[in-house]
Amino acid sequence: MCLGIPGRIVEIADAARKLAIVEVMGVRRQVNVACIMKDEPLESLIGTWSLIHVGFAMSRIDEREAALTLDVLRQLGEAQEEIEAMRATERMMMGAVQ
């Protein structure tokens, strides 16, 4: 939970709510990007890597740092847990629509 996971911002989802879509190990997920915004258009975040903690982009990192961190998280088993938590939540929310 505290370690988070690196993800790459691929799309802006809701500019008013500062929400973007990140891709984390092939899984897409909506995250809040308020903590990594600077004085620039939100679109400029696209392509940026960030550490994602429980749905919030917390710190910009470069691609090398992202790869390094992902390696460690995989070895600790934390990456798999994060991805599973994202997927399980998505399944639960799909159920909640009906």
**43 scored as a contact of another protein (CB under 8 A):** no
Q: What distance in Å separates the CA atoms of residue 84 and residue 74, rounded to the nearest whole number?
A: 13
Q: Binding residue for another protein (CB under 8 A) from 15, 23, 55, 63? A: 55
Name residues whose C-beta falls within 8 Å of residue 46's C-beta, 6 or more positions apart in sequence: 9, 10, 11, 12, 20
59 strand-pairing partners? 51
Q: Binding residue for another protein (CB under 8 A) from 15, 28, 34, 47? A: 34
Considering only residues 61 through 90, tell me which ones interact with another protein, judged by CB under 8 A: 61, 65, 68-69, 71-72, 75-78, 81-82, 85-86, 88-89
In the chain, % helix, strand, coil (3-state, to 5) comes to 40, 35, 25
Report the residue number, 43 or 91, with the smaller CB distance to another protein.
91
Q: What distance in Å separates the CA atoms of residue 33 and residue 13, rounded to the nearest whole number?
A: 11
Residues within the interface to another protein (CB under 8 A): 1-4, 17, 29-32, 34-35, 37, 51, 53-56, 58-59, 61, 65, 68-69, 71-72, 75-78, 81-82, 85-86, 88-89, 92-93, 96-97
